[in-house]
Amino acid sequence: MTTTELGKYILDNSGFVLLVLALNFGILFLINASSSIKASILKDLIYIPARNRKENVLLLGGLAMAFSNIIVMHNIYSSDVVGTSDKFSALGYILGVFILTIQGYLDDKFELSIKARLIAQGFTLLTYSVFLHFIFPIQSSLAFILLVVIWGFGILNGSHIIETAQTMSIKVSTLILFYFFAVAYYFNFLHLSYIIALIWLPIACFWIFKLFKKSIRLGEIGPNVLALSYIFIATQIYLRLTGIMSQTSSLLIVLIPLSIPMGEVFFNMTKRLFQRSYKDTKRSNLFLHVLSNENEKFVSHQITKIVSMYALIMMTSFFIIAYYGGTAKYILAFFTTTLLLMASYFLQAKKCSVLSKKKRDFGNINNFSHDNGLIKKDLVETFDVDSENE
């Protein structure tokens, strides 16, 4: 698809873009007004305040994102803009978002256990991988599907860690999607640039809405949808890149932005293991960002610094890919990303150490209770991951 053809397609579908915007703002307004709804059934469904918070913070902000992306993918699936392989991936994405939306809603409503979340995540990743099996070259399908499952768990849980720090999820997701957009545009995958822009629209709507209504959070659904969106876009870009370069180079390009949520998981688990024995740490506490319990002004300042580091890392990597000569540039870009991320996490670790000495011992929970059911029976107020994540 040429630039002219894409421009004509966007103009012809401008009404659909307006529909997506209206849908997002409409759902967000409905959730924000849910506390005053008189219909008891509807109110019970959509009015979910965050647990263990003094202020009235509403969840389900990610519901608009889920509905929006399902409609976007259905529109893409029904159009002639993409080929058969893209349609298979879009169908897998729709089913995956549907599963994760149900899991996220139940988690927001009843607070599911970690076991239940991991089961839902695993089922989603396997479902999506089934569709990849039909579209990937047989020599690379097994390796990539294995990578999707392993990295998928990391990306899903890393996205939840990022979401526990206020507004960080919005900024990091914008950064990751912008990198994918730049890569798609640079390699002339113009229709993918259009899809990425449509996926970013609900993020922009939520960002704008949150500027005026601060008492709404993405909840469990938002990070789920964002994570699966990263995996979907990475899959599409990888499939096209393998037609013009080696599979290794293609893989390294799409892993660069995915290293951020993966790095958050590694950093968080390493920090917890260094600070306290894993046996003495509540498992759900592993999914809290270090900034999640700080005051709003401090969090905003630190998030800006962290996201600025991530932006520098992404821009450096893309600059190497776009302007450095030779096939080794893809390896160089990936390892540059890894080293810079390690440096940024080291700086965060120093800040974490200072905070721990000054204010509290992170992960210091005396009453540890095993959580073997699908729904939690015990809630620890100070370190309730869902209350902070929501």
Q: What is the pLDDT of residue 179?
A: 95
Round the CA-based radius of gyration of the chain to a whole number and report it.
21
d(CA 226, CA 177): 10
Cβ–Cβ < 8 Å for 120, 99: yes
Residue at 39: amino acid letter: A
* pTM, full prediction: 0.84
**Per-10-residue mean pLDDT, the chain, length 390:** 68 82 91 80 83 73 92 81 73 91 90 86 87 68 70 88 84 94 91 90 92 84 93 89 86 91 82 56 58 63 84 91 86 90 79 56 40 48 42
Position 176 scores a pLDDT of: 94
* Residue 378: per-residue pLDDT: 44
Give me the pLDDT at residue 97, please: 93
| The pLDDT value given to residue 293 | 61
362-369 long-range contacts (CB < 8 A, ≥24 apart) are: 362/271, 362/272, 362/275, 362/290, 363/272, 363/275, 363/276, 363/280, 363/281, 363/282, 363/285, 364/276, 365/280, 365/281, 365/282, 365/285, 368/280, 368/281, 368/282
- Distance, in Å, from the CA atom of 34 to the CA atom of 58, rounded to the nearest integer, reads 9
